[in-house]
Structure 1
Amino acid sequence: MMLDPLTDLHALFARIVDCESVSGQEEALAGLVESALGGLPHLETVRIGNNVVARTRLGRPDRVLVAGHLDTVPVADNLPSVREVREDGEYLVGRGSCDMKGGVAVALALAAQLERPAKDVTWVFYDCEEIAARYNGLGRIASERPDLLDADLAILMEPTDGVVEGGCQGTMRFTLTVPGAAAHSARSWTGHNAIHDLAPILEILRRWQDRDPLVEVDGLTYHEGLNATMVSAGLAGNVIPPEATIQINYRYAPDKSAAQAQEAMRRLFDGWEMEVLDLSSPARPGLDRPLAQSFVARVGTEPRPKYGWTDVARFSELGTPALNFGPGDPLCAHKADECCRLASLDECRDALGGWLSGESA
């Protein structure tokens, strides 16, 4: 199978979706992307593992980086893709159609078509976004060729249904462990029930829900969340549990750093043994930058905050303002009937391509 980036966008999209690329198995799709762009004279193309970077070298005053990940979550009897006609238009249904091969298709088509854009553009197609952060292809590029990620603005083609979503929340997962003492449940008073001692933690979480969860950052309002997500305790139905562990997930606004978020949680749960399982920095919206403002104006819709964590945080850590923008309703991501409205691809291509070409709204 070959990919022709100059063919009909919807046909290109279907071929990309039908090339299975579960995380860690992106080699075939990365090869197709490299072959599609490698022979184009207006692009310098570099491959690092299963990551493909193609960029113009026109000497423009601004450089924009457009990125999309090639991998998907595991297939669940939802390949090959199928087209469906619904009341609001035609859809492609299949694994990765929403997250985020629609964005990959748009980026691949524009990379081939825009021979002399008004801005220099770096197109990044990377692997292993859907699994542990240490495998993420952007991290490998940053380690081996950081110059390839230099840009004045990064646009991550996450599914946003064609609306600019600024920044992203940070996330912290941690456990609190409560000690007890095992005993036979018939003689429970000879032990100490660790599960019962989770009550004060649960009360703190309950009271936290009463606070105002809305935080405004650079004109966008983020909704924070602090929730117990897992509880582990108990040895048997007739044994007083000697230990109980509760896992908590804190989704925090980009008004604070990862270190500040961690310190806030340690103060809130002072007195309990805490183990931090993962801690990811947020990203501020960056919509105060003129380049980002001009893109928002070209898109023509009111920007929204990004709920959840995305790789815009990686660009933020590199000092590059970044935003999320791509085809597909994010609520469809990872579902068994994952799908993308085909017109959404056209809308994103026209907005992004027009802006990169220097067209006004």
Structure 2
Amino acid sequence: MTALELTSSSVDLTRAICDIHSESGDETTLADAIASAVSAYDHLEVIRDGDTIVARTNLGRARRVVIAGHIDTVPINRNLPVEDREIDGEAFLWGRGTVDMKAGVAVQLKLAAELTEPGVDITWMWYDHEEVDSSLNGLGRLSRNRPDLFEGDFAILGEPSNGEVEGGCNGTLRALVRTAGVRAHSARSWIGENAIHKAAPILARLAEYRAREIEVEGLVYREGLNAVRITGGVAGNVIPDACEVEVNYRFAPSRDAAAAARVVNDVFTGFEVEIVDIAEGARPGLDAELAREFVDAVGATPTPKYGWTDVARFSALGIPAVNYGPGDPHLAHHDEERVPVAQIDAVERGLRAWLSGS
């Protein structure tokens, strides 16, 4: 079994974790290594659900914090093993998973091992299948199998945020907007009705749509409505009788699923619209006492999270949650994924200072 040494620096742990391949669906080796490593510490109760590992303190503190990170990555593309690189005099770790989000996981593992007397009880979660369909998500599975493990007053997700605090997240909706026509031979196109041509107004409405900015609890979230895929056509000599435009709507956390669906249906009035996937966002929750203490301790100025993250799962359970981790989210899934060494150290210092009260 691959061994992880939690007395290593967070930077060295990041290298080690990244070099254990764990593309979605292939997390077992890394999950085994994490379970073995944290089981060596008597102050942690360790629970396993599939390839999700939970380690928690039970010190009888008045408040509990949940800190989570996913252990899977998108596919590798000649960007492992991790390399040390210097860009404009700044040290980076370069390779798959350094940003999304094994540097955050490394910080969490080191602190889980070392913080034996934190000021709050802590539930650490390292989960599988985040980068694939939501139905497979290890955090979602754990919430169904062991909802008791989600008891807490505040949650932190180690998603990359450039070492800053990103509150809540936008919701996301996918819809299929369809047109219908009549097939005919393309040599006699006037006999048929071209479903692809009928999609032109759909694309026009998307092009004309202006993203709205909506303030939620002091943070301004930017919405977006975009075509992400279009399908149609039968053969090179056939007028198509069907066309389908897949649309993605990113909506502010002030809207619930029903409100988001109404927006999309209103935009495409007159067309057949099928909502195929929807996940509500998460309000910032920065007015919670622990959230304020955390933001003050790390010296951050919170900003909104535009993408959807698993903070929404905590928010749905009534637990305020933020994103806080090393790495530039713009480099997540990028073939030149890289994280500044200084950000790994800074996030570790921030979390350590807050959790230990020092």
Give the structure-1-normalised TM-score: 0.96
Q: Which residue of 2 aligns with 1:162?
A: 163
Verify: 1:31 aligned to 2:32, yes or no. yes
Contact 2:11 2:103 in 1 (8 A): no
Q: Which residue of 2 aligns with 1:310?
A: 309
Structure 1 residues 171-190: aligned runs within 5 Å: 171-190=172-191
Q: Which residue of 1 aligns with 2:235?
A: 236
- Cα distance in 2, alignment partners of residues 88 and 129 from structure 1: 34
Structure 1 residues 292-303: aligned runs within 5 Å: 292-303=291-302
- Cα distance in 1, alignment partners of residues 245 and 144 from structure 2: 35
Deviations 1:228-266 (A, max 9, x none): 121112223332221111111101000100121012212
Structure 1 residues 59-70: aligned runs within 5 Å: 59-70=60-71
Q: Which amino acid aligns with 1:352?
A: L
Contact 2:179 2:244 in 1 (8 A): yes
Q: Which residue of 2 aligns with 1:328?
A: 327
Deviations 1:282-333 (A, max 9, x none): 1111111111111111121211100111000111111111100001111111
Contact 2:10 2:103 in 1 (8 A): no
Q: Which residue of 1 aligns with 2:221?
A: 222
Deviations 1:316-357 (A, max 9, x none): 111111100001111111111211111111100000110011
Q: Which residue of 2 aligns with 1:54?
A: 55
Helix, strand or coil at the partner of 2:259: helix
> What is the CA distance between 1:145 and its match in structure 2?
1.1
Structure 1 residues 173-212: aligned runs within 5 Å: 173-209=174-210
Q: Which residue of 2 aligns with 1:352?
A: 351
- Cα distance in 1, alignment partners of residues 25 and 203 from structure 2: 38
- Cα distance in 2, alignment partners of residues 82 and 114 from structure 1: 29
Q: Which amino acid aligns with 1:248?
A: V
- Cα distance in 2, alignment partners of residues 260 and 8 from structure 1: 46
- Cα distance in 1, alignment partners of residues 274 and 89 from structure 2: 47
Q: Which amino acid aligns with 2:126?
A: F
Q: Which residue of 2 aligns with 1:100?
A: 101
Gap runs ≥5 in structure 1: none
> What is the CA distance between 1:60 and its match in structure 2?
1.2
- Cα distance in 1, alignment partners of residues 293 and 348 from structure 2: 16
Structure 1 residues 61-140: aligned runs within 5 Å: 61-140=62-141
> What is the CA distance between 1:185 and its match in structure 2?
2.5
- Cα distance in 1, alignment partners of residues 178 and 42 from structure 2: 59
- Cα distance in 2, alignment partners of residues 8 and 269 from structure 1: 53
Q: Which amino acid aligns with 2:317?
A: L
- Cα distance in 1, alignment partners of residues 163 and 27 from structure 2: 26
- Cα distance in 1, alignment partners of residues 3 and 237 from structure 2: 62
Q: Which amino acid aligns with 1:169?
A: N
- Cα distance in 2, alignment partners of residues 36 and 234 from structure 1: 54
Helix, strand or coil at the partner of 1:195: helix
Q: Which amino acid aligns with 2:289?
A: P
Q: Which residue of 2 aligns with 1:5?
A: 6
Single out whichever of 295-304 and 103-112 deviates more from structure 2. 295-304
Q: Which amino acid aligns with 1:293?
A: R
* Aligned residues: CA RMSD: 1.2
> What is the CA distance between 1:196 and its match in structure 2?
1.9
Identity over the aligned pairs, expressed in percent?
A: 50
Q: Which residue of 2 aligns with 1:260?
A: 259
Q: Which amino acid aligns with 1:253?
A: A
- Cα distance in 2, alignment partners of residues 102 and 286 from structure 1: 25
Verify: 1:289 aligned to 2:309, yes or no. no
- Cα distance in 1, alignment partners of residues 190 and 34 from structure 2: 67
Deviations 1:146-186 (A, max 9, x none): 11111100100001111000111111111111111112223
Helix, strand or coil at the partner of 1:227: strand
- Cα distance in 1, alignment partners of residues 122 and 8 from structure 2: 21
> What is the CA distance between 1:88 and its match in structure 2?
4.4
Deviations 1:16-58 (A, max 9, x none): 1111111111111111111111121111111111111011111
- Cα distance in 1, alignment partners of residues 209 and 76 from structure 2: 38
Helix, strand or coil at the partner of 2:199: helix
- Cα distance in 1, alignment partners of residues 337 and 188 from structure 2: 53
- Cα distance in 1, alignment partners of residues 304 and 32 from structure 2: 34
- Cα distance in 2, alignment partners of residues 200 and 332 from structure 1: 34
- Cα distance in 2, alignment partners of residues 86 and 200 from structure 1: 46
Q: Which amino acid aligns with 2:338?
A: C
- Cα distance in 1, alignment partners of residues 216 and 269 from structure 2: 28
Q: Which amino acid aligns with 1:348?
A: V
